[in-house]
Amino acid sequence: MRADFDIILNWIKPGARVLDLGCGDGQLLSILQQQRQAKGYGLEIDPANITRCIAAGVNVIQQDLNKGIANFGDRSFDTVLMTHALQTVRRPDRLLDDMLRVGRETIITFPNFGYWRIRLYLLTHGRMPVSNTLPYTWYNTPNIHLCTFRDFETLCHRKDIKIIDRLVVDQKHRTGIGSKLFPNLLGEVAIYRVAK
102-125: per-residue pLDDT in tens?
A: 999 999 999 888 888 888 988 899
The pLDDT confidence band at residue 90, using thresholds 50, 70 and 90, is: very high
Q: Starting at the edge strand that comes first in sequence, how are the strands of the sheet with 77-83 ordered?
A: 60-62, 39-44, 17-21, 77-83, 103-111, 189-195, 162-169
CB 194 within 8 A of CB 163: yes
What dotted CATH number matches 3-195? 3.40.50.150
Query: Cα separation of 23 and 29, whole Å?
Result: 8
pLDDT tens digits for 1-23? 577 888 899 999 999 999 999 99
Query: Cα separation of 185 and 116, whole Å?
Result: 5
Q: How crowded is residue 76: how many other Cβ atoms within 10 Å of its Cβ?
A: 17
* pLDDT value, residue 1: 56
CA 51 from centre of chain: 22
Residue 104 backbone dihedrals phi, psi, to 5 degrees: -70, -35
pTM above 0.75, yes or no: yes
